[in-house]
Each structure stands twice: as C-alpha cells, then as structure tokens.
C-alpha cells in the first residue's frame, strides 16, 4: 500500500473553548496487526461531547488523552486484514479506534456489525453508546412512570432524542429542550415529544414552566448551565435527575461567580427528596443485550426515530467537534472518514 | 382539675437564628377528649433540628407551624382519660402532641410504649424518629459495604451516633464528626466509631482527610456547611450521600456569597458517579417493624448505645432548642415536661 494513515492528534490542551490549534493532522505508516488483531479501515467516527473531558488533564472517570496521542472516538471500520479466526476481510465492526483513517485493534475489543440489520452509522448513535446512555440512564435511574413528566435538553441530539422517545414508550410526557426553531420542530414533529422548548428564547424559563404544568418528575441532565436553572424550580417531590453530561460547563475556566447555588440545591434535595445521580453508561453494561433487542424493535416498529448529521472527511473532525460543543450540529454528529 | 395546660406557641417567625421572642408561653384550659380520643399528660418532648424548618413559612416537606399555634414535637405522654377501648389511664404512649403539658390525641395516632422493655425516652431517640432516620437512610440509601468508609457529622447526636454504630455492624469503617473534644471522646469511646474528627479544629479538613485514607464511600449528610466542604473532595467514585438535614444552613438568610459551588458539585456528580438523595424517614415507614426489632436487639446486646441530654421543664424548651441549632446539646435533646 502506498497509502498512509491520517491521524488527528491532541496537539495541546484547550483553555476554555477548543480551537483548531489544539489538534494536529499527521500522516503515519499504516499499522500492522499482530496475533489476535485486525487491521481496520475506518469508515465512520463518532463525535461526542465527552471528548472535551478527554482533552483536559483534570481527573475524570476516564484517563485524559495525552498530548501527541490520537484523539479518542468510537468508530465503525472495515476489516482489511485479520489475525483472529472470528474476523475476516470485509467484516464491519465497531471499535474505539479514534480520529484516524486506519487502525489496528484487538479482536476481543470489537463488536461485529450486520449492515443488513441496521445502517452502520446507527452503531455510533441510536444503537450505540448515545442510545444506550439514554436507555440505561432513563430506565434504571430516571424510572419514568406513566403520566409523569420527563424533561431532557439537547433533545435533538442522539441521547436527548432517545430519552424522550423511550419516555413516551413508557407512558410519560416528554418535554424536549433544544436551541432554535429548526431543532424544536425536529423534536416535536419527528421525535414526537409532547412539547419542545427553545432555550434561545428570552422567555425560555417561562416557556418551560408552561410546558410542564404538573412539574418535572425526571430531568435527564446532559447540559447544565441555564437549562438547569430553569428546570430546578419545577422539580417535583421525589424527582430523579440522572446526570450524564454537562456540556454547558465543559469549556468553563476558573471559579464560577456567585451567588453560591449549592445551599439552595441542597435545601431542595432535602425538602423535595430529590435524587441526583451521575453515571456513565458502561456501569450498566449488563443491560446491553436488552438494549439492543428493545431498541432494534422500537426502531423497526417506528417508535424510535433518529437523525444523523454526517460531515465528510477526517480533516473536518476538529471544526465539527468545536461546533458540537456550541450546538451547531443537527442530530447525531458523525464523520465519514472514508 | 385546677391545673392548667402550659403551651409554647410560635409567636413570630425567626429571621436567621431563633430567639426567645419567637416563642410564647401561655396557659390554657386542659382540653377534653372526644369519642375515640385520649387525654395525655406529656412527660417528655423531643427537640429536633427539623423544627427550625417548621418555624419558617418557606415551602418544605411539611406544612409550617402557623403563628399562634403550638410548636410541633414528638412526645411521650401518660393516658389520663381514654375514650377509646385500646387505651386506659396509666398507659404510656408516643404521640406528636407538641410543646405542651397536656394534649388530646386521636387514639389511632398513638403508639403504645412498654416502659419495661425500654426507657420511655428512647421512643424519642434511638428507638424513635432519629434512630429510624439513621437506620432507613443509611441502610436503604447509603448501603454501606464491609470495608467501606462511612462519614457522618453531628456524630454525638441521636441520628449521627446511630448511623456510625449501624455502619460498624455492617462491617464498614465509621468516622464521626463532632464539635469539641468532649463530643469526640463520646463518639470514639462510647459509640465505638473508628475515629472522631473535631470540626472546631483549625486543621479540620486535613484531620478528616487523615481519618479517611481510602476516601469516603457514604457520607450521611445532616449538617451541610463547612463539613460538606471538607467531605466533598474525599468522596469516592460511586459514593452515596443520603441527605436528611442541613442544620448549618437552617438559620441562613438571603443569598449565599460566591463562588458558585454548584457547577463543581455537578462536575463531580458526573465524573465520580455520585448519588445524592434527600429523604425523610416517613418515606420508609414500611421498614419500621424491622427497625424496632433490629434496633432493640442491637441495644440489648450492647452494639448500639445512646446518650440523652434531658432538660427540665417545658419553659426550658425554647432556650434548649436554640442551643440545639448551635450544637450546645450533648446527646439526644429531650425536655422532661412533668
């Protein structure tokens, strides 16, 4: 092969909002698989908000990407060479191969995909990590009951859209928060939420209150910031708040200005018997088989829909990712690498 | 009877710290029981931090005491007259008769006490609401596992002392926080905690860290304030934080000065998969039979000890209550009314 591997490395750690300078595109030789490994040609890579955390050195649930390392990502790739009996050239697999065009991966870290059963890209979205985050977080921690009100932000995105649709399947009212009329229309008309509330509106807090006349029983937290402030006074007694992301504060630097909202939060935690529970989906890995079965069924019978925003070329990944943190994507953001 | 009923009413709502002016002692006729009711002579009344919330008009899990109403309290009383077949004069009962020396109560709101089985005052402490708060909150929400570290503040009080002793029974390490050497000695030597940390010490945060070399898996929150600040950085991944009180902020007025600690809290909720859960014990009422059985057994075999601080005379209740909010009591605070 005369071709080379294109890779995007973490060049420097961002201070606040990431910039294109924090990434570096390099060309390296295509790697060679060892025993028990496969060589993959990456077709698609997933861009997700959690990657902002990996760019920082701050302690988190996963180790940071080191400077000079390939940026992390879930990927869909095609097996070019296999040194494992379970895989052969042409197989399509899910792996965590990062922002690059070729990769070597251990066969035991792969999941084989069947392109006839579902489009390959869904393994990065509705049938992948974001869909599973919604499924496990909502059902295990949120526990919506029929007639309850479930609120989720970033509702046009892959996690939020699944949260609302699963809430509806469970008989709850689903209220989605999204930025702008176009996203709100998607949330309401395509994903079937009971209402969509635009957080760009100057009357956002009042609009949310009007959309939740019975208060909020489950708030699936993935953004934080001003959305939290609007949600907080509407929380009902025994409300559950699974927390899987805080995109609004990922780019924050330094201390946060007062007043201090912690004592007010804790007061309501106490007087309303609230449950706040952070999680990452891998904690619930034993639910994956149930998820694949349920979600595939819901997609097949039209009860769960999804929307993808696919950008072309690995070189586009940094700008697309920066835009993701600002809500510029429209649906699940995926890079078509090859 | 020529005797009168002594009552302490809420005279005005406190701003910040309650003062004696917020209470009013009055003499009223002894009430007459109706059908299905009993007349009680109150022997003991319980003073507990939650009563500060009842003095305020702010929305909480229970309605406020109205101005001019008798202050709320759990009480132990003797039946003087009965108009219900299940009770006869001389019976000792637990009721919620408030700060007064006589009361009429519905028979179906009483629990009969056996003075031969346990001292009557324990029905207000270790075998009552505080003990049950510790039991249900720790076991159902805190879920301590053998070898884990459980931290509780106000550890010389009725809730904290029970939390630590139950944690020990479950095989966990128990670290108690208390104010001053005398309370710390009680926590360590009498209640058998693995360590006691004095929150009056200028090196409190460092002392707590030293007492928790493996971090904190369960923080039973009943105080808030600076104790929270010392606990927060020590919380382990998957730590559980049952919240049953926030005594340090009950007297707060107005907004809290910055920096805003909410985003930092939520960041750690996310990255450490923390669970924060407010509760009041009545949510777990179905566990009361198990509690009475377990706790009576633990007291009988010496595994749970308790400490009472009994003040004399109903007139002493306001000052004693004000002192409770400042940690001046030494053990479960009870007023011996008669």
Please tell me the predicted confidence (pLDDT) of residue A86.
Answer: 97
Compute the distance between CA of residue A187 and CA of residue A161 in angstroms, rounded to an integer.
Answer: 7
Within 8 A by CB and 6+ apart from B235, the residues are B215, B216, B219, B241, B268, B272, B274
CA distance B207 to B194: 13
Nearest neighbour of B270 by CB, restricted to A243, A273, A275:
A243
Choose among A188, A144, A190: nearest CA to A167: A144
Identify the H or E element spanning B306. Answer: none
B240: closest chain A residue by CA = A277
Mean pLDDT of B294-305: 96
Which of B53, B260, B267 lies closest to A246 in CB terms? B267
What does DSSP assign to residue B161? H
Q: Are B285 and B251 in contact (CB under 8 A)?
A: no
Task: Assign B63 a pLDDT band (cuts: 50, 70, 90).
Answer: confident
Cβ of B278 and A271 within 8 Å? yes
Question: Which chain A residue lies closest to B276 (C-alpha atoms)?
Answer: A276
Q: Residue B255 and residue A259: Cβ atoms within 8 Å?
A: yes
Q: Do A274 and B270 touch (CB under 8 A)?
A: no
Q: A45: closest CA among A103, A109, A108, A118?
A: A103
Per-residue confidence band for B297, with pLDDT thresholds at 50, 70 and 90: very high
Which pLDDT value is given to residue A40? 98
B279 contacts A274? CB cut-off 8 A: no
What does the alpha-carbon distance between residue A329 and residue A325 come to, in Å, rounded to a whole number?
Answer: 9
- Closest CA of chain A from B42, distance in Å: 29
Is A277 in contact with B280 (Cβ distance < 8 A)? no
**Model confidence over B225-249: pLDDT tens digits?**
999 999 999 999 999 999 999 988 8
Query: A–B: how many Cβ contacts below 8 A?
Result: 137
Non-local (6+) Cβ contacts of A222 within 8 A are: A49, A152, A153, A154, A159, A160, A243, A244, A245, A246, A247
> CB count, 10 Å around CB of A15?
12
ipTM of model over 0.90: yes
Q: How many CB atoms lie within 10 A of CB B145?
A: 12
Tokens 């059963």 appear where? A117
Set of chain B residues whose Cβ sits within 8 Å of the Cβ of A61? 237, 270-273
Kindly state the average pLDDT of the residues B108-125. Answer: 95
CB contact under 8 A, A262 and B256: yes
- Quote the CA–CA distance of B12 and B318 in Å, as a whole number: 13
- At A3, the pLDDT band (50, 70, 90 cuts) reads confident
B57 vs B181, higher pLDDT: B181
Nearest to B260 among A245, A258, A277 (CB): A258
- What integer is the mean pLDDT of B274-288? 96
Predicted confidence band of residue A58 (pLDDT cuts 50, 70, 90): confident
**Interface residues of chain A, partner chain B, Cβ below 8 Å:** 53, 59-61, 221, 224, 228, 237, 243-246, 249, 252, 255-280, 283
Among A263, A264, A272, the residue with its CB nearest the CB of B278 is A272
**Nearest by CB to A263, which of B59, B249, B273?**
B249
Residue B11 phi, psi dihedral angles, 5° rounding: -90, -35
The pLDDT value given to residue B2: 63
Of the listed ranges A28-37, A223-232, A248-257, B177-186, the one predicted with least confidence: A248-257
CB A262 within 8 A of CB B248: no
Mean pLDDT across the stretch B207-212? 98
Chain A residues near residue B280 by CB distance under 8 angstroms: 273
Select from B237, B246, B259 the Cβ nearest to the Cβ of A258: B259
pLDDT of residue A172: 98
Q: Which of A256, A269, A271 sits opposite B276 (nearest CB)?
A: A269
| Domains assigned to chain B | 5-125+306-336 (3.90.180.10), 129-283 (3.40.50.720)
Min Cα–Cα distance to chain B from A61, Å: 5
**A270–B243: do the CB atoms touch at under 8 Å?**
yes
User: Given an 8 Å threshold on Cβ–Cβ distance, is B269 in contact with A276?
Assistant: yes
The span from the CA of A306 to the CA of A160, in Å, is 10
A148-162: average pLDDT? 97
Give A315 to chain B, closest Cα distance, Å: 30
Chain A contacts of B271, Cβ < 8 Å? 53, 59-61, 278
Across the interface, whether the CB atoms of B256 and A258 are under 8 A apart is answered yes
Query: How does residue A63 score in pLDDT terms, banded at 50, 70 and 90?
Result: confident
A175, A193 in Cβ contact below 8 A?
yes
Mean pLDDT of A92-118: 96
- Predicted confidence at residue B154, as pLDDT, reads 94
Whether A119 contacts A329, CB under 8 Å: no
pLDDT interval class at B95 (50, 70, 90): very high
Closest alpha carbon to B241 in B174, B152, B154, B179: B152
Q: How confident is the model at residue B279 (pLDDT cuts 50, 70, 90)?
A: very high
pLDDT at A338 over 70: yes
Average pLDDT over residues A234-249: 94
Using the beta-carbon criterion (under 8 Å), do A224 and B266 form an inter-chain contact? yes
Summarised one tens digit per residue, pLDDT across range B160-181 is 999 999 999 999 999 999 999 9
pLDDT score recorded for residue A255: 80
* Distance (Å) from the alpha carbon of A227 to chain B's nearest alpha carbon: 13
CA distance B137 to chain A (A): 12
Following DSSP, what letter does each residue of B81-116 receive, concatenated? EE-STT--TT-EEEE---SBSEEEEEGGG-EEE-TT
Which residue on chain B is closest to A265 by alpha carbon? Answer: B262
Q: What is the pLDDT of residue B264?
A: 93
Residue A107 has pLDDT above 80, yes or no: yes
Percent of chain B with pLDDT over 90: 92
Cross-chain residue pair B277–A260, CB shorter than 8 Å = no
Q: What is the pLDDT of residue A62?
A: 80
Q: Which residue in the set B246, B255, B275 is minimally distant from A266, CB to CB?
A: B246
Closest alpha carbon to A136 in A289, A23, A269: A289
Chain A residues close to B273, C-beta within 8 Å: 61, 277-280, 283
Model confidence at B258, in pLDDT bands (50, 70, 90)? confident
pLDDT of A2: 63
Residue A253 confidence class, pLDDT cut points 50, 70, 90: confident
In chain A, the percentage of residues whose pLDDT exceeds 90 is: 92
Does the distance separating the beta carbons of B221 and A61 come in below 8 Å?
Answer: no
* Per-residue three-class SS string for chain A: CCCCEEEEEECCCCCCCCCHHHEEEEEECCCCCCCCEEEEEEEEEECCCCHHHHCCCCCCCCCCCCCCCECCCCEEEEEEEECCCCCCCCCEEEECCCCECEEEEEHHHCEEECCCCCCHHHHHCCCCHHHHHHHHHHHHHHCCCCCCEEEECCCCCHHHHHHHHHHHHCCCEEEEEECCHHHHHHHHHHCCCCEEEECCCCCHHHHHHHHCCCCEEEEEECCCHHHHHHHHHHEEEEEEEEECCCHHHCCCCCCCCCCCCHHHHHHHHHHCCCEEEECCHHHHHHHHHHHHHHHHHHHHCCCCCCCEEEEECHHHHHHHHHHHHCCCCCCEEEEECC
In A, minimum Cα distance to B63 occurs at A271
**What pLDDT, in 10s, does the model give residues A316-325?**
999 999 999 9
The arithmetic mean of pLDDT across residues A165-185, rounded, is: 98
């Amino acid at each position: 092969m005369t071709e080379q591997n294109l890779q995007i490395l973490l060049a420097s750690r961002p201070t606040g909002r990431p910039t294109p300078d924090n990434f570096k595109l390099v060309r390296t030789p295509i790697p060679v698989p060892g025993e028990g490994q496969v060589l993959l040609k990456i077709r698609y890579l997933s861009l997700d908000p959690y990657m902002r955390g990996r760019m920082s050195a701050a302690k988190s649930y996963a180790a940071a990407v080191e400077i000079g390392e390939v940026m992390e990502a879930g990927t869909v790739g095609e097996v070019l060479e296999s040194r494992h009996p379970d895989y052969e050239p042409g197989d399509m697999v899910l792996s965590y191969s990062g922002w690059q065009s070729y990769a070597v991966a251990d066969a035991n870290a792969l999941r084989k995909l069947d392109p006839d059963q579902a489009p390959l890209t869904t393994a990065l979205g509705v049938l992948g990590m974001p869909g599973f985050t919604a499924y496990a977080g909502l059902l295990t921690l949120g526990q919506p009951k029929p007639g309850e009100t479930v609120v989720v932000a970033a509702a046009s995105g892959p996690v939020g859209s699944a949260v609302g649709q699963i809430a509806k399947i469970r008989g709850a009212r689903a209220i989605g928060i999204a930025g702008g009329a176009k996203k709100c229309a998607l949330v309401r008309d395509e994903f079937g939420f009971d209402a969509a509330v635009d957080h760009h509106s100057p009357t956002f807090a009042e609009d949310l209150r009007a959309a939740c006349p019975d208060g909020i029983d489950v708030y699936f937290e993935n953004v934080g910031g001003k959305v939290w402030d609007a949600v907080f006074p509407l929380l009902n007694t025994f409300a559950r708040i699974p927390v899987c992301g805080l995109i609004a504060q990922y780019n924050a630097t330094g201390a946060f200005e007062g007043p201090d909202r912690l004592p007010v939060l804790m007061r309501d935690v106490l007087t309303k018997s609230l449950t706040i529970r952070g999680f990452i989906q891998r904690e619930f890995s034993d639910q994956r088989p149930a998820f694949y079965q349920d979600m595939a069924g819901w997609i097949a019978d039209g009860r769960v829909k999804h929307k993808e925003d696919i950008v072309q070329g690995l070189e586009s990944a940094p700008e697309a990712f920066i835009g993701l943190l600002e809500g510029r994507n429209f649906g699940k953001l995926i890079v078509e690498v090859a």
